[in-house]
Structure 1
Amino acid sequence: MRRSGGCLCGAVRYTLTGQPLRAGICHCLDCRKASGSHFTPFGVWPASAFECSGAMKVFAERSFCPLCGARIAWFRDNEAEIMLGSLDGAPTGIVPEYELWTGRREEWMLPLPWTEQFDHDRPESAPAE
């Protein structure tokens, strides 16, 4: 499976190969401010599955387009955490497995019943599945 995505202005384009290692939703303040939304859905792929054209800048470990400011990814430990909103198409088939920073989740947003819930970041020892 190949998926494509990019920034708002089109200066940064990327492709992803295969399914994500895991997917989640984050309610932390950084994700709220970076996305301008109540939460951020993301998928994590091996870094080797991510191919990119166009230059990105980095702020607080998060990569974004320097022209339009669209947030694309966070790279760490040989993984590429992709903001699912930057995909060209709907992220069909990528279902969140966990929610992060649930203490910051809006009261009117109910927990996703099939997901694992974490008060803060996901522990390193959590299964990667």
Structure 2
Amino acid sequence: MARLKGSCRCGRITYSLEGEPTRIGICHCTDCRQESGSAFTFFGVWPASSFSTSGETDVHNGRRFCPTCGSRMFACTDDEAEIKLGTLTDAPTALVPTYELWVKRREKWLSPVEGADQYVEDRRSG
């Protein structure tokens, strides 16, 4: 079973993940671009039971961040934990996106991730 660890930039917030992610994605939507300050967000989703964290985070629109250094960290529901993979301690990782969202907003100079499902907007279930 895989165990991954991560933290904010200042180290006040730490987390660990057990097992494999449910899915790994890249999102090019406006919200993710603005929230990350980059051209896309690289994230992984784990069952909530596989995620643990320590330290006090602050929250804005369901997204948790470190109130000291401002690192954007994760979002959690009762079922899932969505992790900003740039906060993992060890990089690079073996984690590869299996899909991309909002590709209609992908920068023209970025190529699609080979083998990843491409969604014009949101991923549709079923």
TM-score, normalised relative to structure 1: 0.91
Letter in 1 for 2:90: G
**1:57 and 2:41 correspond:** no
- SS in structure 1 of the partner of residue 34 of structure 2: helix
Letter in 2 for 1:49: S
Letter in 2 for 1:45: W
Matches within 5 A, 1:49-88: 49-88=50-89
Matches within 5 A, 1:9-88: 9-88=10-89
- SS in structure 1 of the partner of residue 109 of structure 2: coil
- SS in structure 1 of the partner of residue 33 of structure 2: helix
Once the two structures are superposed, residues 17-54 of structure 1 have per-residue CA deviations (whole angstroms, 9 ceiling, x without a partner) of 11111101011111111211111111100011111000
Matches within 5 A, 1:98-117: 98-117=99-118
Tell me by how many angstroms 1:58 deviates. Answer: 1.0
Cα distance in structure 2, aligned partners of 1:14 and 1:91: 18
Q: How many residues align?
A: 125
Cα distance in structure 2, aligned partners of 1:9 and 1:31: 22
Letter in 1 for 2:23: R
Tell me by how many angstroms 1:113 deviates. Answer: 2.8
4+ residue stretches of structure 1 with deviation over 2 A?
A: none
Q: C-alpha root-mean-square deviation of aligned residues, in Å?
A: 1.2
Cα distance in structure 1, aligned partners of 2:34 and 2:55: 24
% identical equivalent positions: 54
Q: Which runs of 5+ in 2 are unaligned?
A: none
Q: Which runs of 5+ in 1 are unaligned?
A: none
Cα distance in structure 2, aligned partners of 1:40 and 1:76: 19
1:84–1:91 Cα contact (<8 Å) kept? no
TM-score, normalised relative to structure 2: 0.93
Once the two structures are superposed, residues 49-100 of structure 1 have per-residue CA deviations (whole angstroms, 9 ceiling, x without a partner) of 1110001111011111111111111113510010000000125221100000
Cα distance in structure 1, aligned partners of 2:92 and 2:73: 14
